[in-house]
């Protein structure tokens, strides 16, 4: 396989030499990157806020492609699952889309009664010169709810810049609500999107520990909770890429400390709870013991079953390619827990420090790749002869076409994979794909069978 | 029902943007690589959308606009992107479709492509199509791409024996069926596009950079020498289509038919083939027709008088309406996100007596459909999986056809066309209604 000259520094094989990996840059033209755009980054972060109106300002495509595609659940309103677009046409492009946007917002707010509205700018909005901020201000004044512009023009950077734009919009909300009733042992959960109800599981753990959860940002998110999020004593940040900006800003402006956590895999999940307990220990005696008890109770339920899966999966090989590198750390550890090694790992938007951590975590010979593409990924899967590929919808057909098992760890999944129970689900998911008899019928499977018979 | 104020926003759209149609059409040309001139996200979103339906790898390259590109123009990104695709994918052809961004900044993509030098003695062909997402829908992007391919590749010369067929945005199963029918008639046909294999392929042990299959570029070149063009789609424009171009440029006579869905529209299609080849409809298809009509009779009472909402791409809607009307189902709403301006006329032409009671709506979205539907007392919906929310709200079944099918497998294998496709549609409609009656019955009859 040939790797494009411009991309050679974005692929690293762990060996004796130190990490050399180029990252956090614009995708190479024509490389068929698996990445999306700034808009996608913003939309991903804000989407789960269920009582807000999400209006995509631009031609139709961007709204259509993001209509109800995620498993981000809400315990109440379902407004986030609708797709609203100003559907700009040729005449709007010529004459400007401000009037149409104002009218659309006004009608939709009257119709759906949201608690706030987010207005996402797509590529051409900046180019045709619409003053989206002014329209938002005007509608906000008329309707009495926050109407927040999200500067998410697709070309203005990468998905990571979209996360930042979303955090900026959220920062407009945080601090505008009352903090009454918020105690000293309280957190905000940042960077969990409540896929398949994951944030409910996590919230439940914290509540059992005696920790109050003020706002879940943005999984099962509510505008009013976000408005009072500044009352929490600690921010717990998962998915480092998407929410770190918000956490840093809240630390800087409001003095709220934050901790990076992950809820994937037994080790990381337990660590997240222990870190939180430790933080509150001085003001909440007994919390560490309570947490230890909780963890051991949860483990007692899932570990015996996980052990059964481990017996079946031991020695199998995996490849991982995900959006943010932080999730990759957890996955490498979780796979190890199942007795599996990760021979290729990559991400769309990792930073240098992320890849350094990945390097330390991985075995010799592991391929580490930034901003990869189908030709590279398919070549890596074949070279490493993996049994499993973990990724999202765009990675799935690459695995399947080559007769490799696949586990969806992206936003479309409908299976909770976080928390202790999530680890059991993960083990089952991995087992269900790796152990399926269908592989025996595929060209790759037949080759393997023949090789086995010969040896 | 109170009058609904015209909405400024589109709510749950029943359409997609033009570049998606372009990419799908380009997948139907052998050795072709689709390439979008625009932002990274456009390619990725479209890939994901197509992958979720076809469940096949769909590689789409993109030039990837940045802030600087948007200010200074996309020339360098376009050129380096094309070079990279040529180097990595070794395509015979790269189809370059524009997105809204370069079109809005007024980029002269034609000129930029003219300047492009692939290097070496490359035989690489470039085909350019303008598909800004603020103009038309994915269907318009699809047809514009077919037209661009023909316009930029076809050449004239002595007329051959072959016939051009422009099927429209049908399923891979439909394309395979059409090819079988042509073979049975002994008709030499160039089908454009043909993604019957590229978007519905077998398991492999090597990743195919460009999936095998598709209409060979040589065949597209030969379209200017065909003895006739057959284009399917009653809502196609009189001018501007690939067949219209071949007619005016190379005097290839053009014949327009509806999508052959149901007995009557299929009869027209088979009659046209019989006329073109001078042969009667082959026995195999006569028998399929016979069994189909026989099944219509067997089950006519289960479906008669039932009320259906039909939605999706305009030509699909017209075909389904023809089929439903001939089995005694009353289409109550025929809707599309498309805005050809020709849907009502086409629906009326095929619906016979049922036409009087049909609400026909172009430019409709699913939220509006849900609101309008309440007053129409429909028994079922027929269209893509995107109507699921409406079907759930109304608590009536959805029969999944067309594109996209994102909540079931096998969208690429749904056969809509011909007697065989009608048989499958008819069984699906009838059995859905029977299941509904059975499940809803307190008795739970096990013998119907």
Q: Cβ–Cβ of B204/A447 closer than 8 Å?
A: no
Q: What is the pLDDT of residues A252-264, one digit of tens each?
A: 999 999 999 999 9
Helix (H) or strand (E) segment spanning residue A63 = helix A61-64
**Is position B68 within any domain?**
yes
The Cα–Cα gap between B152 and A73 comes to: 49
Is residue B270 one of the residues assigned to a domain? Answer: yes
Q: What secondary structure, in 3-state letters, does B373-390 show?
A: HCCCCCCEEEECHHHHHH
B101 touches chain A (CB under 8 A): yes
Same domain, residue pair B148 and B168: no
Q: Is B10 on the interface with A (CB under 8 A)?
A: yes
Q: Tell me, yes or no, whether B173 lies in a domain.
A: yes
Q: Please count the structural domains in chain B.
A: 3
What span, in angstroms and rounded, lies between the C-alpha atoms of A156 and B64? 11
Among B89, B119, B153, which residue terminates a domain? Answer: B153
> Quick check: helix, strand or coil at residue B41?
helix
Return the minimum-mean-pLDDT range out of A119-123, A451-455, B77-81: A451-455
Contacts of residue B108, Cβ cutoff 8 Å, sequence gap at least 6:
none
Model confidence band, residue A126 (pLDDT cutoffs 50, 70, 90): confident
* B47 belongs to a structural domain: yes
Task: Note whether A450 contacts B: Cβ–Cβ < 8 A.
Answer: no
Contact B257, B318 (CB under 8 A): no
- Tell me the C-alpha distance between A414 and B406, whole Å: 14
Which domain-ending residue is among B277, B308, B341? B277
Q: For residues B181 and B136, state if they share a domain.
A: no
| Residues 20-39 of chain B whose Cβ lies under 8 A from any Cβ of chain A | 20, 35, 38-39
User: Do B430 and B314 have their domain in common?
Assistant: yes
List of chain B residues whose C-beta atoms are within 8 Å of the C-beta of residue A158: 40
Whether the bond between A131 and the residue before it is cis, its omega within 30 degrees of 0, is no
Surface-to-core class of residue B278, CB atoms within 10 Å of its CB (0-12 exposed, 13-18 middle, 19+ buried): exposed
> B2 in a domain, yes or no?
no
Report CA-CA distances (Å) from A388 to A396, A423, B217, B345. 11, 16, 37, 53
* Residue A241: pLDDT band with limits 50, 70, 90: confident
CA distance B362 to B344: 8
Cα separation, A53 vs A75, in Å, equals 17
Does some domain include residue B227?
yes
| CATH number for B248 | 3.40.50.1980
For residue B268, count CB atoms less than 10 angstroms from its CB and return exposed for 0-12, middle for 13-18, buried for 19 or more. Answer: middle
Residues 6+ apart with CB under 8 A from B217: B29, B30, B31, B32, B92, B93, B125, B153
Selected residues 107-136 of chain A with any CB under 8 Å from a CB in chain B: 107-108, 123-124, 127-128
Q: Look up the domain containing B125 and give its range.
A: 18-153
Interface probe with A: pick from B8, B102, B384, most Cβ of A within 10 Å: B8
Look at the block and give the residue holding tokens 């969208």: B411
Q: A204 to chain B nearest CA, in Å?
A: 31
Q: Are residues B341 and B407 in the same domain?
A: yes
Question: With 70 as the cut, is the pLDDT of residue A174 above it?
Answer: yes
Look up residue B293 and give its two tokens.
Answer: 């009509």
Interface of A with B in 191-250 (CB under 8 A): none
Counting as low any pLDDT under 50, the low residues of chain B are 1-2
Secondary structure (3-state) at A414: coil
| A188 bridge partner residues | A215, A235
3-state secondary structure B132-166: CCCCCCHHHHHHHHHHHHHHHHCCCCCCCCCEEEE
Q: Is there a single domain that holds both residue B23 and residue B147?
A: yes
Q: Which of A32, A410, A412, A449 to mutate to test the interface with B (most CBs of B within 10 A)?
A: A32
Class of domain A38-173: alpha beta
Domain termination site, one of B153, B183, B202:
B153
Whether B429 and B310 map to the same domain: the answer is: yes
A38-173 and A314-413 agree in CATH topology: yes
Residues A101, B112: Cα–Cα separation, whole Å: 34
Verify that B342 and B389 share a domain, yes or no: yes
Q: Please answer yes or no on whether B67 and A157 come within 8 Å at the CB atom.
A: yes
Question: In chain A, where are the structural domains located?
Answer: 38-173, 186-297, 314-413
- Which chain B residues are closer than 8 Å to A406 by Cβ? none
* Phi/psi of residue A118, nearest 5 degrees: -110, 135
| pLDDT at residue B307 in the model | 98
How much is the pLDDT for B121?
63
Q: Is residue B122 less than 8 Å (CB to CB) from chain A?
A: no
The CATH architecture one would assign to domain A186-297 is 3-Layer(aba) Sandwich (3.40)
Average pLDDT over residues A340-344: 98
Phi, psi of A394 (to 5 degrees): -75, -25
Distance CA B380, CA B378 (A): 6
* Spatial CB neighbours of B145, under 8 Å, sequence gap ≥ 6: B21, B22, B25, B26, B95, B97, B129, B131
Strand order in the sheet with B163-166: B189-191, B163-166, B228-232, B254-257
CA dist list (Å): A334 to A341, A342, A412: 10, 10, 20
Range list of β-strands (E), B258-358: 307-311, 330-335
**A3: pLDDT strictly greater than 60:** yes
Q: Is B209 in the same domain as B318? A: no
Residues of A in contact with B44 (CB under 8 A): 33-37, 40, 394
- Chain B's closest residue to A128, CA to CA, is B104
How high is the pLDDT of residue B1?
A: 43
Residue B6 covered by a domain:
no
Residues B63 and B174 in one domain: no
Considering only CA atoms, give the Rg of chain B. 22
Report the distance separating Cα B163 and Cα A227, nearest Å: 66
Verify that B254 and B303 share a domain, yes or no.
Answer: no
Yes or no: say if B404 and B138 are a contact pair by the CB < 8 Å rule. no
Q: Does A23 contact chain B (CB < 8 Å)? A: no
Q: Scanning every residue of chain B, which has its alpha carbon at the shortest distance from the alpha carbon of A100? A: B8
Closest CB to B77 among A29, A32, A90: A29
| Nearest of A239, A395, A259 to residue A330 by alpha carbon | A239
DSSP B238: S
Residues 386-425 of B with CB under 8 A from A: 386, 389
Same domain, B103 and B138: yes
Whether A61 and B5 lie within 8 Å, measured CB to CB: no
- CA–CA gap between residue B93 and residue B125 (Å, rounded): 5
Share the mean pLDDT of chain A.
95
SS3 B9: coil
Mutate to test the interface with B, among A7, A26, A79, A87 (most CBs of B within 10 A): A87
pLDDT at B4: 57
Considering the domain boundaries, does residue B219 fall inside one? yes
Q: How far apart are CA A234 and CA A225, in angstroms?
A: 15
Alpha-carbon distance B17 to B142, whole Å?
10
pLDDT tens-digit profile of A89-120? 999 999 999 999 999 999 999 999 999 999 99
Q: Does the structural domain A314-413 have CATH classification 2.40.50.140?
A: no
pLDDT at residue B119, as a whole number: 78
């Amino acid at each position: 396989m040939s790797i494009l000259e411009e991309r050679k520094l974005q692929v690293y094989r762990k060996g004796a030499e130190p990490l050399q990996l180029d990252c956090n840059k614009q995708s190479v033209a024509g490389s068929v990157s698996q990445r999306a755009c700034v808009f996608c980054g913003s939309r991903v972060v804000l989407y789960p806020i269920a009582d807000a109106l999400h209006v995509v300002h631009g031609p139709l495509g961007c709204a259509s492609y993001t209509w109800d595609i995620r498993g981000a659940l809400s315990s109440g309103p379902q407004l986030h699952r609708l797709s609203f677009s100003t559907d700009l046409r040729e005449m709007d492009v010529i004459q400007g889309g401000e009037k149409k946007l104002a009218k659309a917002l006004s009608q939709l707010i009257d119709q759906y009664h949201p608690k706030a509205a987010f207005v996402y700018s797509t590529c051409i909005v900046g180019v045709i010169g619409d003053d989206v901020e002014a329209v938002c201000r005007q509608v906000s004044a008329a309707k009495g709810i926050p109407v927040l512009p999200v500067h998410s023009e697709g070309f203005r950077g990468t998905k990571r810049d979209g996360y930042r734009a979303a955090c900026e919009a959220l920062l407009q909300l945080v601090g505008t609500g009352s903090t009454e009733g918020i105690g000293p042992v309280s957190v905000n959960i940042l960077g969990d999107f409540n896929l398949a109800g994951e944030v409910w599981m996590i919230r439940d753990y914290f509540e059992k520990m005696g920790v109050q959860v003020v706002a879940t940002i943005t999984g099962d998110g509510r505008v009013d909770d976000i408005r009072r999020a500044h009352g929490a004593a600690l921010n717990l940040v998962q998915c480092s890429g998407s929410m770190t900006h918000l956490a840093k800003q809240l630390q800087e402006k409001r003095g709220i400390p934050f901790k990076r956590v992950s809820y994937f895999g037994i080790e990381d999940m337990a660590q997240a709870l222990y870190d939180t307990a430790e933080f509150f220990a001085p003001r909440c005696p007994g919390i560490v013991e309570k947490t230890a008890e909780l963890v051991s109770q949860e483990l007692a339920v899932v570990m015996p079953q996980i052990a059964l899966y481990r017996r079946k999966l031991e020695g199998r090989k995996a490849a991982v390619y995900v959006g943010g590198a932080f999730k990759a750390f957890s996955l490498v550890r979780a796979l190890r827990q199942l007795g599996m090694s990760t021979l290729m790992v990559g991400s769309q938007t990792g930073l240098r420090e992320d890849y350094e951590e990945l390097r330390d975590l991985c075995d010799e010979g592991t391929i580490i790749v930034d901003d990869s593409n189908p030709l590279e990924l398919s070549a890596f899967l074949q070279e490493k002869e993996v049994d499993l590929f973990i990724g999202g919808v765009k990675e799935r057909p690459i695995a399947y076409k080559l007769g490799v098992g696949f586990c969806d760890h992206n936003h479309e999944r409908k299976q909770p994979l976080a928390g202790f129970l999530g680890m059991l689900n993960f083990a089952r998911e991995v087992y269900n794909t790796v152990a399926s008899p269908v592989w025996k019928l595929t060209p790759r499977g037949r080759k393997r069978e023949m090789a086995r018979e010969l040896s | 029902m109170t009058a609904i104020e015209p909405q400024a926003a589109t709510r749950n759209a029943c359409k997609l943007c033009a570049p998606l149609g372009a990419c799908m059409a380009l997948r139907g040309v052998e050795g072709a690589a689709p390439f979008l001139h625009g932002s990274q996200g456009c390619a990725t979103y479209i890939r994901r959308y197509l992958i979720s339906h076809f469940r096949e790898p769909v590689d789409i390259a993109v030039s990837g606009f940045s802030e600087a590109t948007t200010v200074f123009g996309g020339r360098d990104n376009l050129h380096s992107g094309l070079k990279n695709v040529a180097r990595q994918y070794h395509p015979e052809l790269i189809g370059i479709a524009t997105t809204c961004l370069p079109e809005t900044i007024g980029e002269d993509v034609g000129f930029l492509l003219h300047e492009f030098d692939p290097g070496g003695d490359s035989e690489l062909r470039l085909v350019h199509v303008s598909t800004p997402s603020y103009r038309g829908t994915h269907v318009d992007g699809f047809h514009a791409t077919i037209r661009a391919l023909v316009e930029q590749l076809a050449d004239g010369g002595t007329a051959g024996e072959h016939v051009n067929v422009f099927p429209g945005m049908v399923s891979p199963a439909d394309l395979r069926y059409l090819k079988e029918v042509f073979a049975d008639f002994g008709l030499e046909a160039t089908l454009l596009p043909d993604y019957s294999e590229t978007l519905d392929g077998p398991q492999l042990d090597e990743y195919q950079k460009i999936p095998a299959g598709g209409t060979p570029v040589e065949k597209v070149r030969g379209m200017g020498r065909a003895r006739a063009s057959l284009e399917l789609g009653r809502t196609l424009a009189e001018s501007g289509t690939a067949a219209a171009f071949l007619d005016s440029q190379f005097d290839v006579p053009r014949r327009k038919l509806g999508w052959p869905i149901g007995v009557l529209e299929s009869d027209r299609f088979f009659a046209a083939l019989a006329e073109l080849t001078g042969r009667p409809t082959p026995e195999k298809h006569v028998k399929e027709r016979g069994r189909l009509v026989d099944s219509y009779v067997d089950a006519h009472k289960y479906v008669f008088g039932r009320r259906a909402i039909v939605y999706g791409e305009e030509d699909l809607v017209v075909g389904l309406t023809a089929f439903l009307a001939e089995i005694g189902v009353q289409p109550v709403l025929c809707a599309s996100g498309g805005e050809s301006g020709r849907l009502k006329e086409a629906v009326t032409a095929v619906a016979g007596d049922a036409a009087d009671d049909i609400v026909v709506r172009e430019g409709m979205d699913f939220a509006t459909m849900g609101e309008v539907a309440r007053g129409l007392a429909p028994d079922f919906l027929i269209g893509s999986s995107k109507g699921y929310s409406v079907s759930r709200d109304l608590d009536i079944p959805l029969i999944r056809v067309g594109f996209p099918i994102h909540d079931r497998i096998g969208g690429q294998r749904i056969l809509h066309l011909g007697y065989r496709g009608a048989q499958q549609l008819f069984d699906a409609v009838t059995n859905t209604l029977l299941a509904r009656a059975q499940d809803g019955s307190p008795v739970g009859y096990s013998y119907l």
